[in-house]
Amino acid sequence: MATRSALINVMFKAADKASRRMMRDFGEVENLQVSRKGAADFVSQADIKAEQIIKAELAAARPDWNMLMEESGSSEGADKQAPCWIVDPLDGTTNFLHGIPHFAISIAVMEQGKITAGAIFDPVRDEFFHAEQGIGAYLNGRRIRVAGRRRMEEALFATGIPFMGRGDEADDAAYAAGMMRVARASSGVRRFGAAALDMAWVAAGRYDGFWERGLNIWDIAAGFILVREAGGFVSDFAARDRSLETGDVVTANGVLHGPLLKLLRG
């Protein structure tokens, strides 16, 4: 079992504390399903409360650092040149809203434009994924690696499906065509609705790869370093190292990353 650094302990403490309130709130979701508006409002409050807890814990531990939070936006610490926390307090909000036990807390650290540490906590399964630059990726203290499969037909992929019908029809058709090409060439495609956990599961070798378009930096920052420290590749759809800028992500091991990109691009 690996010993967590002081930085990872700060992230774990913040995520763990927020998760206790989150799980109590999750237990109330079923009672609100009769009213979609009521449930949505409740989840919004759960999101905000979790972020407030995380923000307070991180600020207490590193008062000089800056923050970028999904709900409250950016805020500057005492030192504008200090690292920046990037936080998604509830990734998988729609799952949470519907009582589906698949969501996570995501916390990352950015220094001079680079992600240097990340943590993703799944409170339902009590799984804490973390990584630091040059130190590796871990799940509950055990080292993890991306899957070693080399044949596309044996690989299992995950994706995030866009809201069809709300954007450009041609984009929807192109996405569907790419997904079908991957599905036909592989063992299948899964869609669980939490990008942070999808990337953590790639790092742990549960999925062989993951792709999605139009994500925010807080959705992918922690997963980005987890996959890379687990030996995987992360790029946008043009094979560039610009996922954090574009929000477009394609991840896999070194053998499957190229073939996956080719299938997605047609």
Instruction: Write the pLDDT tens digit of every residue in 174-206.
Output: 889 999 999 999 999 999 999 999 999 999 999
Does residue 166 register a pLDDT over 90?
no
Report the pLDDT averaged over residues 165-176: 77
**Does one domain contain both 48 and 66?**
yes
Q: Is residue 181 part of a domain?
A: yes
**How many domains is the chain built from?**
2
Separation CA 264–CA 260 (nearest Å): 6
- Judge whether residue 58 has pLDDT over 80: yes
- CATH number for the domain spanning 243: value is 3.40.190.80
H-helix segments, 79-155: 93-97
Is 253 in the same domain as 212?
A: yes
Question: Of 139, 138, 136, 146, nearest to 125 (Cα)?
Answer: 139
Same domain, 175 and 228: yes
Helices (H), 161-237: 169-185, 195-203, 217-229
Whether the model pTM is above 0.85: yes
Average pLDDT over residues 105-130: 97
Please check whether residue 96 lies inside any domain of the structure: yes
pLDDT of residue 164: 56
Shared domain check, 131 and 27: yes
Burial class from Cβ neighbours inside 10 Å (0-12, 13-18, 19+) for residue 226 reads: buried
Tell me whether residue 71 is in a domain.
yes
Helices (H), the chain: 6-29, 36-61, 93-97, 169-185, 195-203, 217-229, 243-246, 257-265
| Mean pLDDT for the stretch of residues 15-37 | 76
Which CATH number is 51's domain given? 3.30.540.10
pLDDT digits (tens, 9 = 90+) for 65-89: 999 998 877 777 767 789 999 999 9
Instruction: With beta carbons less than 8 A apart as the criterion, state whether 192 and 161 touch.
Output: no
- Assigned domain for 1 exists: no
Round the average pLDDT of the chain to a whole number and report it: 91
pLDDT grade for 152, boundaries at 50, 70 and 90: very high
> Is 210 within the bounds of a domain?
yes
Domain boundary among 99, 119, 144: 144
